[in-house]
Amino acid sequence: MSVKTLDAIIEGRRSQPQQLIEVLQDVQDTWGYVPQESMITISRELGVPLIEVYRVASFYKAFSLVPRGEHVITVCMGTACHVRGAAPIVEQVAAMLDVEPGGTTGDGLFTLESVNCLGACALGPVVVLDGVYYDHMTPRKLSRLIESIRKSGNEDTRDA
Amino acid sequence: MHKLAAIEELEDLRTSLAAARDGAGTTITVCGGPGCQASGCRAVIDALRSELSREDLADTVQVRVTGCHGFCEQGPIMVIDPGNIFYCHLKPADVPEIVSSTLFDGELIERLLYTDPASGSKLQTEAEIPFYRLQDRTLLALNRQVDSSSITDYIAVGGYSALAKALREYGPEEVIGEIARSGLRGRGGGGFPTGRKWASCRAAAGDEKYVICNADEGDPGAFMDRGVLEGNPHLVLEGMLIGAWAIGARQGYIYVRNEYPLAVTHARAAVEQAREFGLLGDNILGSDLCFDVDVARGGGAFVCGESTALMASLEGKVGEPRPKDVHTVEEGLWNKPTALNNVETWANIPLIVRNGAAWFSEKGTKGSKGTKIFALTGRVKNTGLVEVAMGTPLRTIIFDIGGGPSDGAAIKAVQTGGPSGGCLPVDKFDLAVDFDELAEAGSMVGSGGMVVMDERTCMVDVARYFLAFLQDESCGKCVPCRVGINRMLEIVTDITEGRGRPEQLDLLQELGETIRETALCALGKTAPNPVLSTLQYFRDEYEAHISEGRCPAGVCRALIECVIDEEACIGCGACLRACPHAAIHGEKKQPHTVDLDACRRCGICVDECSQGAIALK
Amino acid sequence: MEQYVTLTIDGATVRAPKGRSVLDVALEYGICIPHLCHVPNLSDFGACRLCIVERVENGRSKVTTSCTLLVQDDMVIRTNTEKIRKLRRNIAELLVAEAPNSRAVQDIAVRCGVTKVRYPFRNKNCTLCGRCVRVCAEMWGARAIGFVGRGKERHVDFPFGVRPDFCKECNSCIQLCPMTITPCDGPMAPGEERLCGKCAAQLMVTEKIPDTCVLCDLGNGFNCARHV
C-alpha cells in the first residue's frame, strides 16, 4: 500500500473527523478494501479514535476489510429483483464458485456480493459484473458469463 | 460563462436559450435513466453520435440525453422531433437505419415502433402511448425535456425562474406560507407537512441552519429519486435554494446513497455548473441569499435514510439513529436546526412557487395533494416510473397504466412503501394512493415503491424476504429491532421450511406489535409491517404452510418438488447436463428423473427443457 | 442556581432539576423502572428499551425510553400501565432468551413478569448493553473497546480484535458487565438454558404477585429504594 497515495487522499482533510467516511471511500476505491495500516494512519491524521475508524469501516457495506477478488459479481436483491428470481441466481453462483455471499474464491478471481437494490428495478434481476450492468439475468446467463471470464480472462459481450 | 449577477440577466439568458431551442432543427431525445442504463442505452447513444458524425449531421441534429422517462420496460427508447416519433427496444445496430431511413428519408421503421397491447397495432408517436397518457406527468415531463447534464437546457425551459420569483416577490415567511397552503407532504415516506417543517425550522433558535436532500433511497424496488436526481438535478437544487431562502440556511447537503454513482456524478456536476453561473455562492442573483451545496456519498446502509442516522453519517459517524425526543428541525446536523426533505419533495418546490399553491392543491385528495411518482415493478407488463395525482386508485395504476399481469398468472397483491409498508390484496385495489387511506389499510404510500405480485409469489416468502433485508440493515443498537426482527425471521423461516406451529402466528403478531411500539427508530418501528399485513390479508397462506406443509404459490424450497412429466419428457438429457447439482438421472431417450435429495430447486432445468416437461411445484 | 421543574410520575407530583432524565428522577424517588443499559454518571443511549414509560400529552400517550427523556414542566409520566408492563415483559423475554447465563438478566426477566420463554434459548455472552464501551470512553477516555459491525453482527471488540496498548487494564468493563454476575448454580450447560430467575422459588412468588421486588443485583448497584 503506497504511503504517498494515502497521503494524497488525506491531504486537505487533516484534523477533520467529519471527513472520515469520504476518506475511507477513497481508500476503498483505490485499493479495493481498507487495509489495517491505513486505518491507523487515518485515525492519527484525522483525529478520530482508532476504535471509531474501525467501527465506521465495519458498519458500512461499502467498505471491505479484506482484499476482494479481481472480478466482483454483485447480485441485486431488491424486492423487484427478488420477485423475479434473484435468490436462485445467488445460490447458483455461490454453489458454482464455492463461496458464501460476501466471500472471495480461493484463486482470488471472483468476489460474490449481494446488494439491497441498485435502483434499476424495472429490469430485474440485475447483476453488476465489474461495473457493467446486466438486466433480466438468469442463473444460466450468469453461469455462462462467469465461465467465459474464467476461460478468456475477459468478459463476454453483452449478448451473453 | 460569467456569473449571473441579477435576475434580469437570468431572464435575458433564458430568452435567448429558449429562442435557440425553438429554432433547433431535428432533435433526438434518448432516455438515459436507470432502467435504460441497465438495458444498454450507453451503447446506443455512442452509436448514434458516431453515426451522426459520420453523416456530417453532428451540427444540425441535436442529441439530448435526458433522465428517466418512466417507460423502463421498453428501453432503450428515443423520441425524434419534429414528428414525436417514438422508437423502443433499441440496439446499437439499429442506429444506421434510423439515420438513413427516418432522418434522411422520413420513413418509419415498423419493428422499432411501440405495439399497443390493447389493439395490437403499432403506434407512431409518443403522445399516443396509453402508458404516458394515463399519467399526470408533472415532474417526469420535465425529465423528458432536459439534458441531465446541462444547466442551460434547464434554464431554457424555465429553470431557476421560481427562485427568481421567490427572491423578488416573496419574503421567506411568504414562501413558507405558500408551501404550507399547497398541502405538500413529504415524499420520502413520512408524509409530514413540508410547510410546517419549514416553519418550525425557521422559528428554531440559532443562526446556523442546514437544509438536506435525502437521496438515500434505500427501499428495494424504488428508483423514483434516482430518476429525478439523475435526470434533473437542477430542479432539486432550485428547490433547495428556495428552502434555504425560506429557512435561513447557508449550507445544504445532497446525501446520495453509495449504490448510485451516476446520481453522485450528475449532482456534483450540477452543483459545479450552478456555482459557475452564480446560482450557488454569495449574493445569488443579486439578493441577500448566500447558499452553497455539497454532495455527500452514503456508505451502503439503508438505515441512513432515517434522518438522524443520515445526519450522523454526514458528521462522519456510524449511521445509528438517535431518539427523536428533540426534533431535528431544532437540533439536527451538528445539533443545529435542519430541514431534511426527500428528493421528490424538493423537486416539487419550484413548481409550487412558480404556479402557486392552488395549482398544486387542486390535484389530489383532501389529505394528500399534488402528484406522486411511483416505481411500478414486479409482475406487471409496464414496469417503470409512473406519476399520478394523489387519489388515483391502485387498480388504475396497476391494470390501466401498468397493463395488468406480465405473464398470464393472476395478480394477487401489491406491496407499497418498501420494507416499512405492507401488502394489500387485489380486493383492496380500489383504494386510492393517499397517505391516510393506505395507512389505515395496513400499508402506506411510503417513498413510492410499488411491487406487483402474482399467484406465483408466496406471501410468507415475501414477509421472510423483508425481514431478512431489515435484519441485514438494522443498525443493531436497540433490542426490539436487533433481536426482535431476528426472532421474527427465525419463526417465519421455520414456517417456510415446514417447521411452523400454529401458536407461532399469535407470537408473530404479539412480537410484531411489541417491536412497533418499542423500537428506537422508524426502521425498527415499521419493520413488522410486512409480516403484520400479510398475516392480516394472507393468513390462509401461512396456515397452509403450517398445517398442510404446502406452499400454495410453489415457491418455498422445502415444500416444493422438482417434477419431470414422464409423458412429456423426450429423454434429450439437456436438463441432466445443465443441472449443477447432478440431481437428474436418466438414459438417452428415456424419461429422466430428479433425485429430490440432491435437487436444490434452482430452476435451471426448467429453463433448459424445450418440452416444458419440468416443473417446480 | 439550579432550575427546577415539576412533573407527575405515576400520579405523584415530583420536583426535579432541569436537565435530568425521567429515569434518574424516578429512581431517586424510589420508583423502580427496570433498566439494563443505564449506568449512573454515564451517558444514556436508549438501547435496551426496558426503561420505557408512557408520556401523556394532549390526550394521547407515547411510549418512550425514560433514560433519554429529559424532565420538563407539567410532563405526565406513567411507568407501570398494563401496556407498558406487557411491552417490557416481551423485551425482557427477548433478552433472557439471548443471554440466560446471567443473574442480572434473569433477575430483570423475573422482575418484568416473564414466566415463560417462547423462543429457543441462545447462549450469547453479551447483551450489547454498551456499559463497558461507555465506561471505557467516558470515565477513562481510553476508548480501547467499542461497538463494531452492524445489526446482528454488532459486537464489542478491540480495534482489529487485538487489545491495544492504550487499554489501561482497569477492569471497569468487567465490573460493569451483566454477564459476569453468575447464577448461584453456576453457568448453565449449553442446551440446558432455562428461565431460572435466581431460583424457581422466586418465579413462584412473582407469578402470584407481579412487581414484587426480587432484590436484583442491578438494584443493589443503583441503590433502588426497594433494595435495602
Q: Is residue B137 part of a domain?
A: no
Looking at the fold, whether A90 and A112 belong to one and the same domain comes out as yes
Looking at the fold, whether B182 and B54 belong to one and the same domain comes out as no
Residue C101 pLDDT greater than 60, yes or no: yes
Measure the CA angle with vertex B174, ends B170 and B179; round to 5°.
115
Q: Is residue A52 part of a domain?
A: yes
Name the domain count of chain B: 5
Write out the residue range of the structural domain in which residue A142 sits: 71-152
Kindly report the CATH number assigned to the domain that includes residue B209: 3.40.50.11540
Kindly report the CATH number assigned to the domain that includes residue A79: 3.40.30.10
Looking at residue A160, its pLDDT comes to 38
C13 exposure class (CB count in 10 Å sphere: 0-12, 13-18, 19+)? exposed
User: Of C85, C87, C93, C41, nearest to C67 (Cα)?
Assistant: C41
Please tell me the pTM assigned to this model. 0.92
Looking at the fold, whether B484 and B538 belong to one and the same domain comes out as yes
pLDDT band at residue C131 using 50, 70 and 90 as cut-offs: very high
**Chain B residues inside the 8 Å CB shell of A61:** 258, 299-301
Q: What is the dihedral of CA C196, C201, C202, C206, to 10 degrees?
A: 110
Looking at residue B500, its pLDDT comes to 94
Looking at residue B604, its pLDDT comes to 75
Looking at the fold, whether B344 and B375 belong to one and the same domain comes out as no
Looking at the fold, whether B165 and B275 belong to one and the same domain comes out as yes
Which residues does B contribute to its contact with C (CB < 8 Å)?
Answer: 301, 318, 322-323, 325, 471-480, 482-484, 486-487, 490, 507, 510-511, 514, 517-520
Residue B602 pLDDT greater than 90, yes or no: no
Of B404, B423, B454, the position where a domain reaches its end is B454
Kindly report the CATH number assigned to the domain that includes residue B502: 1.20.1440.230
Measure the CA angle with vertex B223, ends B474 and B468; round to 5°.
30
Q: Do B323 and C68 touch (CB under 8 A)?
A: yes
For B222-251, what is the HEC assignment? CCHHHHHHHHCHHHHHHHHHHHHHHHCCCE
Q: Is residue B501 part of a domain?
A: yes
**Chain A residues inside the 8 Å CB shell of B316:** 17-21, 48, 56
Measure the CA angle with vertex B184, ends B178 and B187; round to 5°.
145
**Chain C residues inside the 8 Å CB shell of B477:** 45, 47, 154
Q: How far is B244 from chain C (nearest CA, A)?
A: 31
Higher pLDDT, C47 or C178: C47
Kindly report the CATH number assigned to the domain that includes residue B589: 3.30.70.20
CB C49 within 8 A of CB C26: no
Name the domain count of chain A: 2
* Eight-class DSSP state of B177: H
Residue C93 pLDDT greater than 70, yes or no: yes
Of A29, A59, A89, the position where a domain reaches its end is A59
Return the residue in A34, A51, A55, A100 with the most chain C beta carbons within 10 A, the one to mutate for interface testing.
Answer: A51
Measure the CA angle with vertex B420, ends B419 and B423; round to 5°.
75
Q: Is residue B145 part of a domain?
A: no
Q: Is B616 on the interface with A (CB under 8 A)?
A: no
Locate B571 and state its grid cell. Answer: 429423454
CB B532 within 8 A of CB B442: yes
Q: What is the dihedral of CA C57, C61, C63, C66, to 10 degrees?
A: 40
Residue B380 pLDDT greater than 60, yes or no: yes
Rounded alpha-carbon distances, angstroms, from residue B441 to A79, B8, B239, B425, B528: 21, 51, 33, 10, 15
Looking at the fold, whether B166 and B297 belong to one and the same domain comes out as yes
Ramachandran bin of C31, using left for φ above 0, alpha for ψ from -120 to 50, beta for the remaining angles = beta
Looking at the fold, whether A50 and A84 belong to one and the same domain comes out as no
DSSP of B526-550, one letter per residue?
Answer: HTTHHHHHHHHH-HHHHHIIIII--
CB C179 within 8 A of CB B505: no
**CB-CB neighbours of B228 under 10 Å:** 31
pLDDT band at residue A159 using 50, 70 and 90 as cut-offs: very low
Looking at the fold, whether B485 and B537 belong to one and the same domain comes out as yes
Q: Is residue A157 part of a domain?
A: no
Q: Is residue B142 part of a domain?
A: no
**Chain B residues inside the 8 Å CB shell of A124:** 377
Of B476, B510, B519, the CB nearest to C90: B510
Of B548, B580, B596, the position where a domain reaches its end is B548
Return the residue in C135, C148, C163, C165 with the most chain A beta carbons within 10 A, the one to mutate for interface testing.
Answer: C148
Choose the weakest-confidence range: B358-367, B583-592, C139-148, C149-158: B583-592
SS3 of B518, please? helix
Q: Which domains does chain C have, with CATH numbers?
A: 4-81 (3.10.20.740), 84-123+183-218 (no CATH), 131-180 (no CATH)
Q: Is residue A107 part of a domain?
A: yes
pLDDT band at residue C219 using 50, 70 and 90 as cut-offs: low
Looking at the fold, whether B279 and B243 belong to one and the same domain comes out as yes
Q: Do A58 and C145 touch (CB under 8 A)?
A: no
Q: What is the mean pLDDT of chain A?
A: 86
Which residues does C contribute to its contact with B (CB < 8 Å)?
Answer: 45-49, 52, 63-65, 68-70, 83, 86-87, 90-91, 94-95, 97-98, 118-120, 128, 147, 149-154
Q: Is residue A83 part of a domain?
A: yes
A26 exposure class (CB count in 10 Å sphere: 0-12, 13-18, 19+)? middle
Locate C87 and state its grid cell. Answer: 411491552
Choose the weakest-confidence range: B277-291, B473-487, C84-98, C206-220: C206-220
Q: Is residue A158 part of a domain?
A: no
Looking at the fold, whether B72 and B214 belong to one and the same domain comes out as no
Residue B325 pLDDT greater than 70, yes or no: yes
User: Of A71, A76, A72, nearest to A136 (Cα)?
Assistant: A76
Looking at the fold, whether B270 and B306 belong to one and the same domain comes out as yes
Q: What is the mean pLDDT of chain B?
A: 93
Q: Is residue B13 part of a domain?
A: no
Looking at residue B118, its pLDDT comes to 80
pLDDT band at residue B403 using 50, 70 and 90 as cut-offs: very high
Q: Do A79 and B377 touch (CB under 8 A)?
A: yes
Q: Is A121 on the interface with B (CB under 8 A)?
A: yes
Which residue does chain A place closest to B384, by CA atoms?
A122
Which residue does chain C place closest to A43, by CA atoms?
C159
Q: Is residue B339 part of a domain?
A: yes
Higher pLDDT, B138 or B324: B138
Q: How far is C42 from chain B (nearest CA, A)?
A: 17
Strands (E), B15-55: 27-31
Of B260, B315, B578, the CB nearest to A18: B315
pLDDT in tens, B283-320: 999 999 999 999 999 999 999 999 999 999 999 999 99
Write out the residue range of the structural domain in which residue B101 sits: 23-128
Looking at the fold, whether A34 and A82 belong to one and the same domain comes out as no
CB B319 within 8 A of CB B313: yes
Strand order of the sheet with strand B384-389? B384-389, B371-378, B449-454, B411-416, B422-425
| Chains A, C: CB pairs < 8 Å | 32
Of B400, B430, B454, the position where a domain reaches its end is B454
Q: Is residue B106 part of a domain?
A: yes
Q: Do B518 and C49 touch (CB under 8 A)?
A: yes
Looking at residue C202, its pLDDT comes to 63
Q: How far is A74 from chain B (nearest CA, A)?
A: 11
Q: Is residue B274 part of a domain?
A: yes
pLDDT in tens, B143-195: 999 999 999 999 999 999 999 999 999 999 999 999 999 999 999 999 999 99
Looking at the fold, whether A89 and A126 belong to one and the same domain comes out as yes
Looking at the fold, whether A104 and A44 belong to one and the same domain comes out as no
Strand order of the sheet with strand B78-81? B62-66, B27-31, B78-81, B85-87
Which residue does chain B place closest to C153, by CA atoms?
B476
pLDDT in tens, A32-48: 899 999 999 999 999 99
Q: Do B378 and A96 touch (CB under 8 A)?
A: no
- List the beta bridge partners of residue C57: C60
pLDDT in tens, B9-44: 999 999 999 999 888 889 999 999 988 988 889 999
Looking at the fold, whether B598 and B531 belong to one and the same domain comes out as no
Determine phi and psi for B28, rounding to 5 degrees: -110, 115
Q: Chains near C, with 3+ CB pairs < 8 A?
A: A, B
Q: Do A55 and C146 touch (CB under 8 A)?
A: yes
Looking at the fold, whether A92 and A147 belong to one and the same domain comes out as yes
Looking at the fold, whether A50 and A88 belong to one and the same domain comes out as no
